[in-house]
Structure 1
Amino acid sequence: METIMIFHEVDDVDHWLSSPRREELFGPLGITARTFVDPAKTNRVGLIVEVPDMDTFQRMLESEAGADAMKFDGVRPETILMLVEP
């Protein structure tokens, strides 16, 4: 199991928080995510993600379904930063 921290910006924090897309995309792959928001009220958000298989996770992120979910959630892809626990 890999633990990843992901930071990025979104168009609308409330929409991103309430979106069912993370669970729809991650759940069937056994991926869990805890969500975080910037308390300074910016559009910066974060996740701590537990990933059973990094290759599957990466393929999902690069897939059309992954791109559609990010678009639906208002994720600004150019702002994504992922850190992997060593």
Structure 2
Amino acid sequence: MPTVIGHHDVKDKDHWLASPKREEVFGPMGITNIRTFVNPENPTQVAVMMDVPDLDVLNTAMQTEEMKAAMAYDGVLPETLVILVEA
């Protein structure tokens, strides 16, 4: 099961950290071990690390309206999103 990192900018770090949306959207995909990270020198830069059982499912989900709505709720700036996959 590969580990995936998604890093991006957010409008409000505290709101993003407190949000239940990560579990709500990633949990049903079987994604586990979700961890959050914040750049201490620029708290609008954040990351999520997680174990993803099916990368195709994740990639498809990233294009859905549900995922776009979750990112908007979390204050994610989608144009800054970069996804890295464990090599």
Q: Equivalent residues in 2 for 1:63-74 (5 A)? A: 63-74=64-75
1:27 alignment counterpart: 27
2:80 alignment counterpart: 79
Gaps of 5+ in 2: none
Shift of 1:42: 2.9
CA distance in 2 between partners of 1:23 and 1:5 (Å): 15
1:7 and 2:7 correspond = yes
1:69 maps to amino acid: A
- Residue-pair matches, total: 86
TM-score of the two chains, using structure 2 as the length reference: 0.93
1:5-52 CA distances to partner (integer Å, 9 max, x unpaired)? Answer: 111000000000000011000111111210000111430001112100
Shift of 1:71: 0.4
1:58 alignment counterpart: 59
Gaps of 5+ in 1: none
Partner of 2:41, secondary structure, is: coil
Could you list the runs of 4 or more consecutive aligned residues of structure 1 that deviate by over 4 angstroms after TM superposition? none
Q: CA RMSD in A?
A: 0.9
CA distance in 1 between partners of 2:86 and 2:45 (Å): 21
